[in-house]
Structure formats: C-alpha cells, structure tokens
A and B are shown apart, each in its own frame.
Chain A
Amino acid sequence: MAMKKYSPVLALVICVIILQAIASLAGREYYLTQLTMSAYYCLVILGLTVLMGYTGQISLGHAAFFAMGGYTTAVMTTRNLIEMQGSAAVDLAVRLGLTVTEKNAYGVEILHLSPWVSLVTAVCLTAAVAFFIGIPILKLKGHYLAMATLGFGIIIYRIVLGSRIFGEADGISDIPQFALAGGLAVSGDPALRVQNYYIAAVLVVAGVVLLMNLVDSRVGRALRSIHGSEEAANAMGVNVARYKLLVFVLSAVFACIAGVFLTHFNGGVGPSEADVMKSVSYLAIVAVGGMANLWGALVMGILLNYLSLRGYFGSYDEFVFGSILIVIMLFFPNGLLKMENFRWLSDAAARVINSYRARGGEGKDGLS
C-alpha cells in the first residue's frame, strides 16, 4: 500500500537523477540552472494547486507571497552590520552565531545576518500576513475572492516598487549565498550548480510528499468537500473557515520558501517577482496541469517555466501564459494533463503489453 503510494515519488526521484546524469554526461550542466529556477517556481505552483485545485479557492496574489520571501531575505542579508558592530543587538547576534562574515565582490569585508534568520523571519512574516488577510478575504467567493487577492498582489507590488528599502524599480542586488549545513550552499556559482539542482529537487520532492499526504488525509477530504460545496461541507461538520485559512497560509508559506531560496540562488530580486502577471502565470500552470493534480502541476510547472526562463517564448511570454489560460478554460476546463486526455496513450500502451503477452512474453507487469 505504502509502496504503491510512494512509487510516483520514486519515479520523480529517478527522473531528477536521470536529468542530472544526462546533462552532466553531455557536458551541458548549464541546463540545470534553469531547471533549478523552475523547480523553485514549482514549489509556489504546488502550494497553489492544493489551494485552488483541491480546495477551490482562487488566488491571484501568490507572486506577492513569493516576493515577500525574496525581499525579506534580500533586505536582511544585504545590510552590512560592520559599522554597527559594538551595539548590543549586533554583538548578541554575533555571539549567538546568527551572522556571517565574508568578503563581497569588491573585496570589502561584510558582516550580515545569516540567511537562516531571514528564512525563519520570512516564513513567520508571510504566515502572519496570510493569516490576517486570509480571515476577511476567504469569506469571499468566486470572482470576489479573485479580486481581493488580486488587490493584495497589486498592493505588495506597489510597495516593493515604491520603497527605497526595497530598491524601488531596481530591486536588490549582491545578495550573499545561503550556506546550508555540511558545505552545501544555495548560490548561483557555476561550481555549485549540481548541488543547487539537488537542493531545489529535495525541496520539491519534500513539498510533493507533504502535499500528497495532506491531500490524502482527513484534512484533504475536508478540503475537497469544501471545493464541492461549502454549505454541504459545513453541514457535515467541516470547519470550513478554519480549513480554508489553513491551506491558504500553507500555500503562502510554500511561495515564501521558494522566494527565499530562489533569491539566494539568483543573487538578486526585482519587483517583477511581485508582478500580477507572475500570479497569472502561476494560475495558468495550475490550470494546465489539471487543477486538482499535483503531478500535472509539477510537470507543467517545470516545463513551462523552463521554456520561459530560457527565452523560447521571446517577446510573447505573457501572451503565451495568457493564451494558455484562455485555451484551457475554454477547451480543457479539467486541465490538459487530466488522465482522460491520455486514455488513448494508456490504451495504446495496454495494447502493446497485451500483444507482447499474447506472444508468450514473460508477464513481468509490475507497472500495470
């Protein structure tokens, strides 16, 4: 039972390893850069899938949560504390091991807060904001909820764009690496590319496992019942408001963590991360992945982000995501990667397997 449940995860892990092996053997490890970036965006998309696909609550503000993570860590880790050394707070932080000393690109010595501190701060901040705005806006439904989250997204975008502390239109640059334990570091350094690919992959796999279990649990069934009918769910004793808030905060935290890691990987963050079009593209990917389909969202998230980040859509990037959304809503309201659309593929596969068996092949059908 458990084996069967986790075998897709195993397949995912194998895919991750195969991809790296192919890239490394072909001497094209640089492909991993955009795969790593796509993987972080996938974390946002996975969280959003549970919120939108399973619970039926639309959000056009998740780029804002992503940006909150990115900007929190950017602001906290780029402030040089050297001139503030001697003040009680800074000294205490140094003594508690909450700071990092290193030389920047210009050879200037800097003392900054450890990204672990900013990660925890970012997560707490985002969870708190999601919690407090979630209480009033999750009372709204359908278009009204979409509009409220859209408004929230625009507010965050405007704050980021208009505040000096966030670097206004220029964003924040020269963000230090995030040294994890055991010599691992989140950084854009080409020498650390393979380990960064695996760091991102581990986060995604962990996210998938967590959400798979959530969706498969009592909570998950409650979430789906909310999607079906809030009134009915309420009547059955599901605490609708509480579950909606829970999943909203959870998906916001996913976006926030993705923001923190990608910001350290990129070494910079700009207001475009908070742009509403970014939220729309997340939404489009959840839709094209099949709404209530973690695997579909994951596959489409990697694929579309990868193509976008490598510039295959050229100047038509926003156009592509916009059209995907329209086409999906018109023709495949259940998503492109819903398995019904692939019935022909599995039928064909079954036919091949059957004819193979009929010809007396050893029926090793661990897969069917």
Chain B
Amino acid sequence: MSLNKIIVSLLCATLLPVAISCKKKSGDSIKIGAIFSVTGPASFLGAPEEKTARMMVDEINARGGIDGKTLELIVKDSAGSPEKAISFAKQLIEEEKVYAIIGPSTSGETMKIKGICEEGKTILISCAAAEVITNPVTKYTFKVAQNDSFGAQKICEVMKKKGIRSIGIVTSNDGYGIAGKEQMEKAAAKNGIAVLISEVYDKKATDLTGVLTKLKAKNVQAVVNWSIVPAQSIVPKNMKQLNMDAQLFQSSGFGNIKYAKEAGEAGEGIIFPCGRLLIAEALPDNHPQKALLMKYKKDYESKYGEDASTFGGHAYDALIILEEAIKKAGADREKARDAIENIKDLPGVGGVYNFSPADHLGLDINAFDMLTVRDGKFVRYTE
C-alpha cells in the first residue's frame, strides 16, 4: 500500500468528523436536553418518555412558549448504554449548553451521568427509580419516579390495618423481583411483620404450585408476589387451586389490566400499590391529579394510539417541573435550580410534588394508591 493513499485516507478521516460536526446556531429559545433509551432493552421506558416529551414540548410551543420563550428539545437515544449516555451528557452540557437534562430512563445510566451534570452545573431530572439517585441529595440532581420502597411500605400499612402479622414473599429472579424482595423484607421488618418464608422462582415459570405449597405449609396470613412477569397471573390461579385463603398482595408491576384478565376469577381481591394514572377515571373530581391525569391520557392516547403509561408520565412530570422553574427563573439556570427546590403542591402524573433542599424527589408514599380488583376491573382499595 503506497504512502499517499494512506495519507489521503487519514486526512479524510481527520476532516470528516469536523465537517460533519459543524452545526447551525439556534435562535432565542431554551434548549432542553433529553437522554432516553428509546431503543434497546429498556425501550419500554424510553419510548413512551420520548413520545411524551415531544408531545409536551410541541404543546408548550404551540401556545407561545413559557413567558414568550419557546423550548427546543434535543432528544438523544442512548439505547440503554451507559457509555452513550455519558457521551451524550457531555455533548448536551458542553456543546449545546442545555438548560437542563431530562432522563436517562434507567438508574444505571443516571448514576453514570450524575457526576457529569453536577460538574457541569446542569439540572438533571432523572426518570429512573433507584433511591441512590437522590439519596444522598446532590445539588443539581432531581428525580420524578417513585422510590421502590414506597410500594412495600404501602403494602405493610394495609397489612397492619388488616391485622396481618405473618407473611410469605415470592419474587421472580430478575432485577425487578430481586430489588422488590429486598425492599419488602426491609419494610416488613420495620413494621413488625414476620416474614416466615421468602422464595425466588424462575421468571419464565409457568406453574408455581411447588413454591406456593411451601408457603401454605408455613400457614402465612398473606402472600406478597413481586414481579413484572406473567407469574402475576399464575400465582393467584395456583393459590386458588391449592385452596389457600391467604390475602394476596402484588407489586405495582400488576398495574396492567391484562394480568388481572388472565388471572380471571382468581384475581379478584388482589391488593397492590400503584400510581394513579390507571384509575384516573375513578378518582373523585376534587382530587388534585384528576384533571391532569385525564388530560395526559386523552392527549397521549389520541396522538399515539397506544395506552399512556406511568413511564411516559415521568417525562411529563419532568417537563412540568421545568416549566414551573422557567416561569420563576427565566433563563437563569442557578435560579431555576433554587426554584425547583421551592416547588410545592405541584400535581403531576406520578403524584403531587413537594421539593425541598433536603428532598430532591418531592414525592412520598402517598404517590401510590392501593388498588384492588373487583369484577375484573381496577378500583381503589378501601378498608
């Protein structure tokens, strides 16, 4: 291979990226960066988040922006890869000089870019759930998704009211189940509820009578099943076959009506914690979230022709929090950060937000309602 050819190709390689990178300058608007895993293994989170964010920004701009300032949304698809999220976060902060970053969709990516945002003094509103994101609190990092532990605590409160003192826990062997098992055991210990047995099953299991028989032998008063897999419909069916009369609790993963339908008659009476999006219609008219939930559902479902999900709701909440901050602080990012810490009683999809310098989540366990299945439908659980 002769030399000039090598030099030509090296030079091309040198100049191409630079040429491609030259970008047009944008007008007078506020740039919001978004990193979502629109594709890849976490696309069930990122895809509705991206759609919601685009819908919201279009809507805000259609009504003339916030105090005359339009929003410019820059969405980056990380495909759930932390290395891409890192690259994109640096790009958004240093090159685009964005006002704030929404996302990433997963906890792993959020933890990777948290330090970059803190260093770049850029507001990060994460759509991921892990508690470590805002505990300990750092200056610029906020999150909008409910903590895992809220659901477990909610379940324990109902148990105490029902006089349940001994339980058995079954969980799937995936990340969701493992985290849930840990949270549930912790919450039970805190509330003085005895965990007599804790079993893990394969997430692809199609029959769980073996596992449940062990629970039956321990005579537990209640069973908690924590998974997002079809086992959510298998557990109630198998419990019925085994004639177990223990009360069944499930995680917020049960918040998809298809699982209740599959469980059929056996699913009646299951109690589970869940955000309010699923039962928006059933909320009383004076509930602070009702109007917003109904609007989000209607807008999203008419625009995209698919069911609105809690995950898309995270992007919705991140944007209304930013909108609130921009209203108060204008283009000043530092003031916007302070403004977010002072947000009180702001209804969102995930709950009613109350931020403070010590609390960058702004939600407490009241973000969850307890739901139950009655006549094949989700309704609010009442004692």
- A residues neighboring B (CB under 8 Å): 4, 7-8, 11-12, 15, 18-19, 22-23, 28, 30-31, 33-35, 37, 105-106, 167-171, 173-174, 188-190, 262, 266-270, 272-273, 275, 293, 295-296, 299, 302-303, 306-312, 314-315, 317-318, 337, 339, 342, 345-346, 349, 367-368
* A342 to B, closest residue via Cβ: B5
Contacting pair A4 B3 (CB below 8 A): yes
Partner of B115, one of A19, A35, A174, A342: A174
Q: Is B278 an interface residue (CB 8 A)?
A: no
Question: In the complex the two chains form, what is the Cα distance from A142 to B134 in whole Å?
Answer: 50
Contact across chains for A37 and B14 when beta carbons are under 8 A apart: no
Residues of B within 8 A of A339 (CB): 1, 5
With A270-B108, A368-B4 known, 15 other A-B pairs at CB within 8 A are: A4-B3, A11-B7, A15-B10, A31-B17, A169-B175, A170-B130, A171-B82, A267-B112, A272-B81, A311-B77, A311-B88, A317-B39, A317-B79, A339-B1, A342-B9
Other-chain residue from B5, B119, B136 in contact with A106 (beta carbon distance below 8 A): B136
Which B residues are CB-close (under 8 A) to A306?
17
Q: Known contacts A170-B106, A311-B88; decide if A268 and B111 are in contact (CB<8 Å).
A: yes
Name, among B11, B14, B106, the residue most crowded by chain A CB atoms within 10 Å (CB to CB). B14
**Pairs A–B under 8 Å by Cβ, sample size 10:** A31-B21, A266-B112, A270-B81, A272-B82, A295-B9, A308-B84, A311-B76, A311-B88, A315-B39, A337-B9
Contact A272 B94 (CB under 8 A): no
Main SS at interface, chain B: helix
Listed in ascending order, the chain B residues whose CB lies under 8 Å from chain A are 1-14, 16-18, 20-21, 38-40, 76-77, 79-84, 86-88, 90-91, 94-95, 106-109, 111-112, 114-116, 118-120, 130, 136, 138, 175, 178
Complex Cα gap A20–B363 (Å): 47
* Residues of chain B with a CB closer than 8 A to A367's CB: 3-4, 7
Q: Are B83 and A262 in contact (CB under 8 A)?
A: yes
Q: How far is the CA of A339 from the CA of B7 in the complex (A)?
A: 12
Q: What CA separation (Å) do A307 and B21 show in the bound complex?
A: 9
B138-A105 in contact (CB<8A):
yes
The answer to whether B11 touches A35, judged by C-beta atoms less than 8 angstroms apart, is no
Q: Which residue of A lies closest to B77 (CB)?
A: A315
- Dominant SS among interface residues on chain A: helix
Residues of B within 8 A of A18 (CB): 14
**What is the CB-to-nearest-CB distance from A276 to chain B, in angstroms, rounded to a whole number?**
12
Are A169 and B106 in contact, with the CB atoms below 8 A?
A: yes
Shortest distance in angstroms between B145's beta carbon and chain A's nearest beta carbon? 14
Rounded to whole Å, the gap between the CB of A105 and the closest CB of chain B is 6
Smallest CB-CB separation from B74: which chain A residue?
A311
Q: Are B82 and A8 in contact (CB under 8 A)?
A: no
Q: Cβ of B16 and Cβ of A311 under 8 Å apart? A: no
Decide: A310 and B21 in contact? CB cutoff 8 A.
yes
Alpha-carbon gap, A272 to B42, bound state (A)? 11
Chain B residues with Cβ below 8 Å from A173 are 108, 111-112, 114-115
